[in-house]
């Protein structure tokens, strides 16, 4: 489900303009801390919107030459159709903020204010409207719509005067029995530095909290394809971005960060951690009490052979693995302990009436 989150990876020392976010639900950005729940006055009436003061955290300058630096942004923009069909999730949001005409304008203003070199978007169902605006701003783009009845998909934009697209790949997870979600992989070369290449992946993982095996399978397959393309193009570095629909306390996050996961230690219906993030639960708990999801004995009974195969790629193998060595961009930047979880991730990148937590990473 859409989360209106904004993640920022800065491998550049660009002096980006600081544009205040005014999306509702709240947005988050790689360069600032999310607000502490106890410091926000939450209202149930749609006309009362919490006033949030942002505190910015700067990434340290890199030692790379300026022509070799680049910045990447990731944003789940909440598809127009999803916003309309799931209006119950946004009962506290005035309708004028949900209106696509307004959101399209402020989304683009937000992105242009930060001036990222590469942009990964999720829940895009008005691609050509966005593309027209982005092209005029000097970006080229690609789009992959979800299969099935869904209207949205993933979109990637990059500065046409800074990057050459060497190879692009669109992934339809339906082709391997992993639902209708999609992902994108793009290999870029910097125009001013022919030796500088990078691979960027963009994914919107399945939302359904009960289908942990599908989530795991989607991420595993994306990672394997990213590794293949990376090796094909000279072991180019990899950046993965998107809405992973999994919390920092989850088995899915552990899989991403450690490159492996013994699925028999987890209930597949709890693998993403989403069920522990209803707003009433989160706002009523102290941060220190929300630790990692504890594995329980005997959970192998929860897995069928088919579910094991979807998760690991082999019904006889209980260890899911992926070939990448990944680090979270947000967790590597020091921030206030009052607005970060125990592993350094923000307390929230997604907030609506049924969920409050972090699911977006870069």
- pLDDT confidence of residue 55: 67
Element (H, E) at 37: none
DSSP line for 265-279 = GS-GGGTT-GGG--H
- Nearest alpha-carbon partner for 358 in 50, 51, 76, 15: 76
The three-state secondary structure class of 212 is helix
Q: Which fold has domain 6-361?
A: Deoxyribonuclease I; Chain A (3.60.10)
How far apart, in whole angstroms, are the C-alpha atoms of residue 360 and residue 76? Answer: 8
- pLDDT confidence of residue 108: 96
Q: What are the phi and psi torsion angles at 152 (to 5°)? A: -110, 170
Kindly state the tokens that stand for 166: 């060497």
* Rounded-to-5 percentages of helix, strand, coil across the chain: 30, 25, 45
- pLDDT confidence of residue 246: 98
- pLDDT confidence of residue 80: 97
Q: Is the C-alpha dihedral spanning 165, 73, 242, 155 positive or negative?
A: negative
Mean pLDDT by 10 residues, the chain (362 residues): 51 36 32 34 45 65 71 96 94 92 95 96 98 98 97 98 98 98 98 88 98 99 99 98 98 98 96 92 60 52 91 98 95 83 89 94 96
> Could you tell me if 128 and 166 are in contact, meaning their C-beta atoms sit under 8 angstroms apart?
no
Q: Give Rg (Cα) of the chain.
A: 20
> Could you tell me if 190 and 163 are in contact, meaning their C-beta atoms sit under 8 angstroms apart?
yes
- pLDDT confidence of residue 249: 95
Between the alpha carbon of residue 34 and those of residues 102, 114, 238, 261, 329, the distances in Å are: 24, 18, 26, 29, 15
Between the alpha carbon of residue 65 and those of residues 13, 114, 160, 182, 193, the distances in Å are: 10, 20, 20, 35, 10
How far apart, in whole angstroms, are the C-alpha atoms of residue 318 and residue 321? Answer: 10
Q: Torsion angle, CA of 319/322/324/330, rounded to 10 degrees?
A: -80
- Nearest alpha-carbon partner for 30 in 308, 239, 333: 333
- H helices of 37-115, in order, are 80-85, 95-98, 100-114
- pLDDT confidence of residue 292: 55
- pLDDT confidence of residue 6: 55
């Amino acid at each position: 489900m859409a989360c209106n989150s904004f993640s920022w990876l800065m491998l550049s020392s660009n002096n980006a303009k600081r544009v205040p976010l005014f999306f509702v639900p709240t947005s988050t950005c790689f360069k600032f801390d999310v607000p502490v729940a106890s410091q926000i006055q939450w209202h149930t009436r749609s006309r009362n919107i919490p006033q949030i003061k942002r505190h910015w955290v700067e990434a340290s300058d890199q030692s790379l030459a300026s022509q070799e630096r680049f910045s990447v942004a990731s944003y789940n923009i909440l598809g127009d159709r999803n916003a309309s069909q799931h209006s119950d999730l946004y009962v506290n949001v005035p309708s004028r903020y949900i209106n696509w005409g307004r959101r399209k304008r402020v989304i683009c203003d937000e992105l242009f204010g930060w001036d990222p070199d590469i942009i990964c978007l999720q829940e895009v169902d008005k691609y050509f409207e966005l593309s027209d605006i982005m092209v005029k701003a000097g970006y080229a783009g690609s789009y992959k719509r979800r299969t099935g009845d869904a209207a949205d998909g993933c979109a990637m934009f990059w500065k046409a005067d800074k990057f050459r697209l060497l190879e692009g790949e669109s992934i339809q997870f339906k082709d391997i029995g992993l639902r209708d979600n999609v992902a994108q992989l793009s290999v870029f070369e910097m125009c001013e530095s022919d030796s500088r290449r990078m691979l960027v992946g963009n994914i919107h993982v399945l939302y359904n909290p009960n289908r942990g095996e599908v989530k795991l399978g989607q991420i595993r397959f994306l990672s394997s394809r990213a590794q293949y393309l990376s090796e094909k193009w000279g072991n180019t570095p990899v950046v993965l971005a998107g809405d992973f629909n999994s919390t920092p306390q989850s088995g899915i996050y552990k899989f991403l960060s450690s490159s492996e996961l013994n699925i028999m230690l987890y209930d597949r219906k709890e693998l993403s951690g989403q069920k522990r993030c209803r707003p009433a639960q989160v706002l009523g708990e102290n941060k220190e009490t929300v630790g990692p999801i504890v594995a329980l004995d005997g959970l192998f009974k929860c897995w069928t052979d088919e579910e094991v195969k979807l998760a690991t790629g082999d019904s006889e193998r209980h260890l899911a693995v992926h070939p990448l060595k990944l680090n979270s961009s947000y967790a590597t930047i020091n921030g206030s302990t009052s607005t970060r979880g125990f592993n350094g991730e923000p307390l929230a990148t997604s907030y609506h009436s049924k969920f409050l937590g972090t699911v977006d990473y870069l």
